[in-house]
Amino acid sequence: MKNRLIILLILFLFLIPLVSNAQIIPDLSDCFVISANIDTAVKLVNKGISDIGFSRNDRPVKRRFNPIKDFVDDPNLWLSINGQLVMIAVVVILFFIIISFVSKLRNLSREVKNTSEVYKKLFTNQTIKLRKDNKQYREEIEELLKLEKKFRNLQKFNEDLKGLSEKQKQLQEAVENMKLGVTITDVEGLIKYTNPAFSKMLGYKSSDLIGKKMNILIPEVLGEPNTYKNKEVWQNLVKKNSMMKKDGNLISIQSLSNLIYNDRGKPIAIVTSAEDITERSKSEESLIKSEENFRRIFDNIQDIYYEVDIDGTIKEISPSIKFITGITREELIGNKMASLYFDVKQRNNFVSALKREINVNDYEIALKGKDNTSVPCTITAKLILDQSKIPSKIIGSVRNITERKRAEDKRAQSMKELKIANKELTDFAYITSHDLTSPLRAINTIATWIMSDYGDKFDDQGKEQMNLLIGRAKRMHHLIDGIYEYTNIINFNGEKVSFDMNKLVKDTAGKMKLQDNFFVEIKNQLPVVYFEKTRMEQIFENLIDNAVKFMDKDKGLVTIGCQETRNNWEFSVADNGPGIAKKYQEKVFQIFQTLNTRDELESTGIGLAIVNKIITKHNGNIWIESEPGKGTTFFFTLPKKEIIKK
Amino acid sequence: MKSNKPILVIDDDVIDSMTVKRAIKDCNYTNRVDFARNGEEAFAYLNNEENEKPCIILLDLNMPKMNGIEFLEILKKNERLKRIPVIILTTSRSDQDRLKAYNLGVAGYMIKSMDYSEFVEVMKTIKSYWSISELPE
C-alpha cells in the first residue's frame, strides 16, 4: 500500500506541471487532457478532446465533473468542470484506481502464480511419486505373473502327475484284464510279471510263474542257457512257436517281444505279448487244406470253370481249358473270352441270352480247338449283379460235349438205321404178304380147279391129300395175313375218331356172324372214346374170336365190362370157356403161339398178339385172370389221355 | 356192259389171268377177254385203233414196268379213255393203295380171294352190276 501511495504521489507530482500547463500538451492528439479544479469545473482541455466530439474552445464549461457519469452521459459536463486539480484528482483517482486495479491484478497474478507454483510443485511431486509407484507396481505384477506361471506349471505338473498315475493304473488294469497274454522277464529270462491271461493260457497261476525261467515253458529251447545272450534279437521279435502248458499239452503261440531300456540305455527287461493261436492254426490249416482241395479240384476238373468281367476279360479260368484250346490258364487270364470261341457271334448271342435270363443252362456253343477245329461245348453260367443291380461279371462252367455229341450222333445214326430197318421190315412184310399170297393163291386156285375138274378121277386118298393141300395153302394165307396186320399196327397210325364203344362192340359182334348159341353181353355202360376205330374193332374181334374158338360149352357167353380209374379206363372181356392154366397165360400174347395143334383147332396164333400190340402201343396194359374150368377174363387198360379227346 | 365189247384184264400173273378168264367163263360172260401184262402193254392195246375200246378194265396194282396206279394216272388224263370203268383186282389191302385208286376214280376195288369160288362170286357181282349200269358211249 505504501508503494502504491508513493507511485501515486510521484504520478501526481509529475502530472501537476503537466496539467498546469495545459498548453504544453494541447496538441496531443492521441489523448485528451482535461484540467479541472477541485469542484471539478473544467479549466482546460487539450486538443485531443475534439477527437471525441468536443471542441476545446466551445466547451469552457465550468461545472462539476463527475468523471464517470459525465463522460458517459453528458460530455458537456466535462467542459463545465473547473479547475485543473479536479481534473488531476480525477486522473489521480483514475490512476489510483488503475494502480490499485493493476496492483490487484498483480497480486492476483502473483497469487495465481504462487498457487500454480504450489500446484505445480504438488503435481510434479505427485507425478514423480506416481512414476515411482508405477514402476514398483509393474515390477510387483511381473513378479506376481511369474509366480502365477510357476504356480500354474506346478498345478499342471501336479495334474499330469495325477493323470499319469491314473493312466498307469488304467494301463495296469488293461494289462491285467486283456485277453492277450503279457509277460515281463528280466534280461536273463526270469519271469517278473505275467498277466492273468498269460498264466491262464498255460494253465498256471501268475504266482506259479513269477521267478521261473521263461525257458521251461518253451520246449524247443528247454535247456539252452544262452537264449538271452544276444539281447538285441528281442527288439520287435515276432515268433510263432509252441509252448508247453502245465498239463504238458502243447499250444501254438504267436508272440511279440520288445526290450525295455533304463535311462542309461541299458536293456533291463523283455516284454512279451503272446496269443494262443492253436485254434486259429487249426482252422487256418483246415482252410489251407480245403483251399488246397478246391485248388486240386479246380486244377483237375474236366469242366472249365471261368469268371469274366462284363467286358469279357477273363479273370479266372481252370487249367483244363488247355485240353480244349491248347492255351494255358496263365496265357488266357486278362484276355478276352470271345477269343476262345469258334464263332464270336455265338458268344454275343450267349451273352444277350444271359443278360435276358441271368441264368443260362447247357447253352450249346463251339470253342476253337487246338487246330482251329470246332469243339462242341455247353455253357452253364450266371450273370452276377452288383449291389445296384448292374451286371458286374459272369461266372460259369464250360463242358466239352464232343463225346456226348459223338454219342448223340451215333444214337441218331442208330435211330436212322433202326427206322430204315423198320421200314424195310414193314416193306418186307408188305411185299411178303403180297408176293407170297399170289403164288399161294395160285396153288390154291389150281388145286381147287384140279379137284373140280378131275376130282372124280381121284381115289379117296388122293381126294384127302388134295384137301390137305388146299387147307395148308389156306393156313399159310392166314399166317401171311396175320404178319401183314401185325406189322401194320406197328407202322401205321390210323385216324382217331369219337365213337360209342357200346355200339362198336355190338357192331363188331354182329359182323362176326356168331352161332346162335353164342352171346355177347355188355355188363355196364361203356364210354364214348376217341381212338382209332378199326384198332378197337380188332381188339374186340380178336378177343371175342378167341372165346369163340375155344368155347367148350353149349352156350357160349362173353361179358364185356368197364371200370373208370384215375388215369385209365379198364375193360374186361370174360368168357365161360375152358380157362387157361397159369403157366400158359404169358404165352397167349406171343405171336404164332397156339395152345392147341392147328390141326385140332385152326388158329394162326396172331389174334391175341395183335390185341397186345395195339394196347401196348397206346401205353395200355393187358393181362389174364383165368383158372381152368372157370373161364377166362381178359383185362386191358387204356390211358384216358389216349382215348379221351382233349 | 355191252356183251359184245371186250373186257381188258391187266395182270402180270398168268395164273391170276387164267383165273379171271375161267371165272368169266364160269359166269357165262359172252365178252371177249383180252390180256395185258402191265400198264405199258395195256396202253399199246388201248391206243391201237384196230382194237375196240373195252367196256371194262380189270386192273391189278402190283405189276412190273408200269404199275396199276401209274396206269390209272395216265388213263384218267386221256380224254378218249378216261370214262372206261376200271375195277381194281388186287391182293393189296393197303389203305394207301385203296385211297390212291379211288382218288383216281376207280369204279371198284376187289381183293383177289384165296378161294376160287369166292372169286367167281365177285366176278358174277361185277357182271350183274355193270349189266344194269348205263355207260356213256
pLDDT at residue A34 in the model = 52
> What 3-state DSSP class applies to A239?
strand
Size of interface A-B (CB pairs under 8 A): 41
Cell 359166269: give the residue: B27
| Domain B7-113 = CATH 3.40.50.2300 | yes
pLDDT score of A219 more than 90:
no
Give residue-wise pLDDT tens across range B108-123: 898 888 788 888 888 8
Interface check for B114 against chain A (CB to CB < 8 A): the answer is: yes
pLDDT score of A511 more than 80:
yes
Q: Mean pLDDT throughout B54-68?
A: 87
| Contact across the interface for A441 and B95, Cβ inside 8 Å | no
| Contact across the interface for B115 and A444, Cβ inside 8 Å | yes
Interface check for B119 against chain A (CB to CB < 8 A): the answer is: yes
Nearest chain B residue to A436 by CA distance is B91
| Contact across the interface for B114 and A473, Cβ inside 8 Å | yes
The beta strand positions in A461-601, using DSSP E, are 496-500, 518-522, 528-532, 556-564, 568-575
Distance between CA atoms of residues A597 and A198, nearest Å: 102
Give residue-wise pLDDT tens across range A280-320: 888 888 888 888 888 888 777 788 899 999 888 999 998 88
Distance between CA atoms of residues A139 and A131, nearest Å: 12
Instruction: Look up residue B12 and give its three cell numbers.
Output: 402180270
The beta-carbon neighbor of B15 closest among A430, A435, A442 is A442
Dihedral of CA A286/A287/A288/A294: which sign? positive
Backbone phi, then psi, for A423, in 5-degree steps?
Answer: -65, -45
Interface check for B112 against chain A (CB to CB < 8 A): the answer is: yes
Q: Are B55 and B6 in contact (CB under 8 A)?
A: yes
B95 contact residues in A (CB cutoff 8 A): 492
Interface of B with A in 32-61 (CB under 8 A): none
pLDDT score of B92 more than 70:
yes
pLDDT at residue A136 in the model = 84
Distance between CA atoms of residues A189 and A271, nearest Å: 10
Give residue-wise pLDDT tens across range A385-437: 888 888 889 999 999 888 888 998 899 999 999 988 888 877 777 777 777 88
Size of chain B, expressed as the number of residues it contains = 137
What DSSP line would sit under A329-356, residue for residue? HHHHTTSBGGGGBSSHHHHHHHHHHHHH
Instruction: Tell which residue, A469, A434, A646, has the closest CA to residue B13.
Output: A434
pLDDT score of A528 more than 60:
yes
Distance between CA atoms of residues A14 and A6, nearest Å: 12
End-to-end CA distance of chain B: 11
pLDDT at residue B137 in the model = 64
| Contact across the interface for A448 and B115, Cβ inside 8 Å | yes
pLDDT score of A19 more than 50:
no
Nearest chain A residue to B119 by CA distance is A445
Give residue-wise pLDDT tens across range A557-572: 899 999 998 888 999 9
- At B102, the pLDDT band (50, 70, 90 cuts) reads very high
| Contact across the interface for A437 and B91, Cβ inside 8 Å | yes
pLDDT at residue A601 in the model = 59
Q: Mean pLDDT throughout A31-50?
A: 51
Q: What is the ipTM of this complex?
A: 0.79
| Smallest Cα distance from A634 to chain B, Å | 29
- At B72, the pLDDT band (50, 70, 90 cuts) reads very high
| Contact across the interface for A441 and B16, Cβ inside 8 Å | yes
**What average pLDDT is seen over chain A?**
80
Nearest chain A residue to B15 by CA distance is A442
B62 contact residues in A (CB cutoff 8 A): 434-435
pLDDT score of A35 more than 70:
no
| Contact across the interface for B114 and A441, Cβ inside 8 Å | yes
